[in-house]
Amino acid sequence: MGRTGISQVAVMQARNEIISSGHEPSVRKIQALIGGSSTTVAAFLKRIMDEEGGLFGSGKLVDKELTQLVVSLHDRLKAITDQKLAVGEVEAQRRVEEAVSEVANAHLQHAETQRLLAVANAELETSKATNARLVELLNAANRQIAVDAKALTLLQSANELQANEVQRLQREGDLRQIAYEAFQTATQRSREATQTINSRERQTLIDSHAESLADMRKERDKLTHERSELTAANAQLARDNERLAHEVIAFGKNLRSAQDIQRDLQAEVNQAAREVSEARIAAAEVGGQAALLRSQLSEINAWREVAVAELQNARATVENLSAELARQQAEKEISPK
């Protein structure tokens, strides 16, 4: 009997393992797997072969049927494998074409997004230039308003001076009027006094009174002329004040209009900035979709390679089985009865 640890079951399992690997079982190969002496392994191997011979008889009918079964299985497996390989290749080709189409569409969308982004950037630059020009105009308008305000202040000061001059002239006119009235009173009194003096002195007083009266009339005419000039100056001053007020109001309206334009342009700039941001987000999304499609395409190619490798392994296994079956059949045919 064999050594301790070496049994017929172990020898049978090693033999079946060697046959499954596509090799002919021998004493050395079994001994390399399970150990033991050559004599023990050979004895167990002979006993196993004798038992199989007693179980299956001569083995010719079984070998023939087994050969036919293996060949049939080989043909069926080959047909199924070829069919699955063809279907897998068609499906993989379809997925590849779909992925390529999606990638092309993603590239087109990305190009369109880039174009829209360029247009939005150009509009944004134009809006910035317009806004800068408007700011420059607003600054110029503010400087002009400051100059006009200063001129208005100077004009108001001149009006105050002119009003003071008018008041002074009016006071002088009032004083002259008082003096004229006093002169008339004195003249009346002198007339009363002249009634008691001689005619020569009366004539002298009359002449003097006539000269004084002529001077007073000249002064009155002069005062009237000055009052007319002062009235005209006041009217011109009022017109100048009104014109300046209208100009100030017009500048205020222009300033408000410029500020409205600036707000509108700022709103357009903000809108353009939002559109640029949205375009950049869309471009990033398109890039992410393209990357995902490339990843899916890589997975499909990897799956295709794995499927092809498995089919090739299956074919190789079938061919090995067929070769082993043919070899065993040839050995059976040349072995002695």
pLDDT tens profile 138-164: 788 788 878 878 877 887 887 788 888
Residues 138, 132: Cα–Cα separation, whole Å: 10
Tokens (6 digits) for 268: 């357009």
Residue type, 180: Y
State the residue range of the domain holding 51. 1-57
Structural domains in the chain (count): 2
218 inside domain: yes
35 inside domain: yes
**CA nearest to 322, candidates 69, 25, 3, 50:** 69
334 inside domain: no
Residues 328, 29: Cα–Cα separation, whole Å: 18
Residue 195 has pLDDT above 90, yes or no: no
65 inside domain: no
The residue out of 35, 57, 79 marking a domain boundary is: 57
Counting residues of the chain whose pLDDT is more than 90, the rounded percentage is 9
The long-range contacts involving 151-157, CB below 8 angstroms and separated by at least 24 positions, are: 151/244, 152/244, 152/248, 155/240, 155/241, 155/244
Note whether 183 and 263 are same-domain residues.
Answer: yes
Note whether 180 and 297 are same-domain residues.
Answer: yes
The residue out of 9, 37, 57 marking a domain boundary is: 57
pTM exceeding the 0.85 threshold for the entire prediction: no
pLDDT of residue 337: 42
Residues 126, 119: Cα–Cα separation, whole Å: 11
* Residues 67, 68, 71: CA angle, nearest 5 degrees: 85
Note whether 52 and 141 are same-domain residues.
Answer: no
108 inside domain: yes
Residues 285, 294: Cα–Cα separation, whole Å: 14
φ and ψ of 73, to 5 deg = -65, -40
User: Which CATH number belongs to the domain containing residue 236 in this structure?
Assistant: 1.10.287
Note whether 34 and 174 are same-domain residues.
Answer: no
DSSP state of 95: H
85-143 pLDDT tens trace: 888 788 888 888 888 898 888 889 888 988 998 998 888 898 788 878 878 887 887 88
Q: Are 152 and 248 in contact (CB under 8 A)?
A: yes
Residue 175 has pLDDT above 80, yes or no: yes
Greater confidence (325 vs 10) lies with 10
Note whether 120 and 212 are same-domain residues.
Answer: yes
Note whether 52 and 120 are same-domain residues.
Answer: no
Residue 194 has pLDDT above 70, yes or no: no
pLDDT of residue 333: 63
DSSP state of 189: H
Across 144-153, b (16+ Cβ under 10 Å) vs e yields ebeeeeeeee
296 inside domain: yes
Residue 39 has pLDDT above 90, yes or no: yes
Note whether 168 and 43 are same-domain residues.
Answer: no
Note whether 154 and 296 are same-domain residues.
Answer: yes
φ and ψ of 155, to 5 deg = -65, -40
Note whether 110 and 47 are same-domain residues.
Answer: no
Q: Which string of DSSP letters, residue by residue, matches 267-328?
A: HHHHHHHHHHHHHHHHHHHHHHHHHHHHHHHHHHHHHHHHHHHHHHHHHHHHHHHHHHHHHH
Name every residue whose Cβ is closer than 8 Å to that of residue 142 and which is 6 or more positions away in sequence: 255
pLDDT classification of 61: cutoffs 50, 70, 90: very low
Name every residue whose Cβ is closer than 8 Å to that of residue 99 and which is 6 or more positions away in sequence: 293, 296, 297, 300
Residues 176, 226: Cα–Cα separation, whole Å: 13
Residues 21, 55: Cα–Cα separation, whole Å: 24
- The predicted model gives 263-291 an average pLDDT of 82
Greater confidence (310 vs 278) lies with 278
Note whether 146 and 221 are same-domain residues.
Answer: yes
DSSP element (H, E) containing 230: helix 199-334
Note whether 16 and 106 are same-domain residues.
Answer: no
Unique residue bearing structure tokens 């001689």:
198
53 inside domain: yes
Q: What is the mean pLDDT of the chain?
A: 79
Q: Are 25 and 60 in contact (CB under 8 A)?
A: no
Note whether 121 and 197 are same-domain residues.
Answer: yes
140 inside domain: yes
